[in-house]
Amino acid sequence: MANAATARQAVLRDVKDAPAVDLFWIGVAIASTAAFAILTVLVVTGRTTVVDHSLIHALTVNASPALTALLLGVTFTSGRLAIFVAILFALLLYRRDGWHTPAYYSAACLSAQLINLLLKYGVHRTRPHGLSPRLTAAGGPSYPSGDVMMAVLIFWLGTLLLSRSFVSSGSRTAARAIALLFIIATAIARVYLGAHWPTDVVGGILAGVACSAVWAGSALSKGTVIDRSLRRDTLQQSSQKQLDASEPAL
């Protein structure tokens, strides 16, 4: 029992010394914001025109009915079904953590939507309707892609927050990989279907990552419910390991 108490005290000391804000997420937010700012300057000054045209041609030259149907399904999920997916993530997070974590998640999604609108009407870039076939409904300014930016927030951030409680590291990796692949598919779909320029979706990814990193750093920082639950689990597991190691073999 003494060894178990010592283990608990050691883990609690580690928790006490943990940073209030995760520096990793701060770094991700700064890097993605800087990259987005650089890309925005290039877009506004017209320096991405040649690349955008080339990428659209390379993507649409291989068009097929099967690929079109698949990507229409992807864009339907990232667009029309996104709000329902966000509600589902929020409910699952509430069931596990109470209201704190889903509050962070909801605030992240709502703030990202507002930021996207401000960016769109600030840059006011036209869509490539005259260059590529318009296979899906899309209106308003083009940069950055709202579907892609919100896919990062709704699908990837939601998966990140929810998967932290998965017992298996393989399950966590698989869930996050699926979310990442869906975001990539959404980006490809928006260009293929004629709704966006390639740099629109890249900008959407960068802006989405920046917003996600800010809110993930806050939600997973010291003092939030999910972080407290993770530290509690760590304490219990470490204490049990120390206790098991201290017991003499029979």
For residue 152, which of 194, 209, 232 has the smallest C-alpha distance? 209
Q: What confidence score (pLDDT) does residue 21 get?
A: 54
114 and 26, same domain (yes or no): yes
| Calpha distance 143→120 (Å, rounded) | 5
Residue 249 placed within a domain: no
Q: What confidence score (pLDDT) does residue 24 get?
A: 87
- Secondary structure (3-state) at 81: coil
103 and 9, same domain (yes or no): no
pLDDT tens track, the chain, 250 positions: 444 444 344 434 433 444 555 688 889 999 999 999 999 999 999 999 999 999 998 888 888 889 999 999 999 999 899 999 999 999 999 998 888 889 999 999 999 999 999 999 999 999 988 776 666 667 789 999 999 999 999 999 999 999 988 888 899 999 999 999 999 999 999 999 988 999 999 999 999 999 999 988 877 664 454 445 455 555 555 555 555 555 555 4
| Calpha distance 9→219 (Å, rounded) | 25
25 and 10, same domain (yes or no): no
40 and 52, same domain (yes or no): yes
Q: What confidence score (pLDDT) does residue 124 get?
A: 92
In sequence order, what are the residues at sequence separation of 6 or more whose Cβ sits closer than 8 angstroms to the Cβ of residue 183?
148, 151, 152, 155, 156, 205, 208
Based on the structure, what is the number of domains in the chain?
2
Q: What is the residue range of 29's domain?
A: 21-221
Contact status, residue 71 vs residue 133, Cβ threshold 8 Å? no
Residue 250 placed within a domain: no
- Secondary structure (3-state) at 25: helix
7 and 104, same domain (yes or no): no
